[in-house]
């Protein structure tokens, strides 16, 4: 399949290039950057020397990109993918957007949280969390790739919500992400001297991934779900550890919790069930498309605590995009994604 990457110089975009290089069914035909157009990609990212030497072009050449591509990955900040999506309507091109523009069923929720008008409300889009929306993704034209915090948190909580094992108004998500989740642009908040030897919360009660988690849990439970979500930045480049809390419904046993996870994920290659009492670690998923899950039952307070570890740039972004690409194109879902986590 001929693929193009719009926004190839961000962390997610260049991670896509890394993974696509070893994908036997993908040929990268165009890569774009508005600020670096005309430069070869390996001049910006020298780790690509000998691997990619293509020149970046402007996405203003969208007609050329459309004519030459079967699938277009969009790695742009929120608010920018809709223009690309509208330009590709009727072009017989599949779209996988790594941003937020096509993640929401209700575009008014997007507008409320992202403070941007949604200009492609009639887009036929599907939410791109492969393990839970596979059947819809198979026939999708536009896939809204799930966010990083959301991937870790939804995979952690979906079995409990689907089986009705938890009190949905008690869900609390406490998640910690490496700095790459903030993007490549320079910022005081992610400056080395600010983050080294430091741990801090941000956007308490207002992070934009909150409604995305709520949307999925509401769909799986059949009830409206409102959660409390607090994200943190930690001084490492990659990884997310999401710690999710919820009160168990009266009479729910530890064995019922175990069974819920086994039933939903027993055939999922990329979800590794470490089991009750386990402690997932970000290092064990680094560079891979795996999500490691472990859970604990705190009988004293009647609460379940679920731990979820992913690499935010792979399962939380580029790897998940390729997993969705494989589903859309009819390839084996693990194609190009079986690399072993990098350890130590």
Distance of CA 237 to the CA centre of its chain: 16
Catalytic residue from among 148, 244, 291, 329: 148
Cβ 125 vs Cβ 142: under 8 Å: yes
DSSP 8-state assignment for residue 108: H
Cβ 89 vs Cβ 66: under 8 Å: no
329 annotated active-site: no
Please tell me the distance from the alpha carbon of residue 202 to that of residue 218, in angstroms, as a whole number. Answer: 25
Closest residue by Cα to residue 195 from 156, 235, 165, 225: 235
Closest residue by Cα to residue 18 from 316, 313, 237, 331: 313
Please tell me the distance from the alpha carbon of residue 9 to that of residue 32, in angstroms, as a whole number. Answer: 8
| DSSP letters for 307-326 | EEEE-TTIIIIIHHHHHHHH
Burial 300-316 (b: 16+ CB within 10 A, else e): eeebbbbbbbbbbbbbb
Q: What does residue 145 show for φ and ψ, rounded to 5 degrees?
A: -55, 130
* Active centre residues (catalytic): 148
């Amino acid at each position: 399949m001929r693929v193009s990457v719009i926004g190839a110089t961000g962390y997610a975009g260049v991670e896509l290039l890394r993974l696509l290089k070893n994908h036997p069914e993908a040929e990268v035909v165009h890569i774009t950057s508005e600020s670096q157009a005309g430069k070869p990609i390996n001049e910006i990212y020298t780790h690509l020397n000998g691997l990619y030497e293509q020149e970046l072009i402007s996405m203003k050449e969208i007609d050329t990109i459309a004519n030459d591509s079967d699938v277009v990955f969009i790695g742009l900040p929120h608010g920018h993918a809709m223009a690309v999506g509208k330009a590709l309507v009727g072009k017989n091109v599949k779209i996988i957007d790594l941003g937020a523009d096509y993640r929401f069923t209700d575009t008014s929720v997007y507008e409320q949280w992202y403070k941007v008008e949604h200009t492609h409300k009639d887009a036929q889009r599907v939410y791109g969390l492969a393990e839970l929306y596979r059947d819809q993704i198979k026939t999708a034209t536009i896939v809204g790739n799930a966010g990083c915090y959301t991937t870790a948190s939804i995979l952690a909580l979906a079995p409990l919500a689907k089986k009705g094992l938890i009190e949905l108004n008690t869900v609390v998500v406490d998640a910690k992400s490496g700095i790459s989740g903030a993007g490549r642009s320079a910022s005081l908040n992610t400056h080395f001297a600010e983050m080294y030897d430091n741990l801090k919360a941000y956007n308490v009660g207002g992070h934009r991934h909150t409604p995305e988690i709520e949307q999925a849990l509401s769909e799986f439970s059949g009830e409206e779900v409102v959660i409390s979500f607090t994200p943190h930045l930690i001084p490492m480049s990659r990884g997310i550890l999401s710690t999710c809390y919820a009160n168990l419904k009266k009479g729910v046993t530890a064995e019922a919790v175990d069974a819920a996870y086994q039933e939903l994920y027993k055939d999922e290659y990329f979800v590794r069930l470490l089991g009750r009492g386990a402690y997932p670690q970000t290092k064990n998923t680094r560079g891979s498309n795996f999500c490691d899950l472990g859970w604990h039952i705190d009988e004293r307070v009647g609460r379940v605590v679920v731990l979820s570890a992913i690499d935010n740039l792979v399962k939380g972004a580029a790897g998940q995009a390729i997993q969705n690409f494989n589903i859309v194109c009819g390839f084996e879902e693990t194609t190009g994604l079986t690399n072993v986590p990098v350890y130590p």
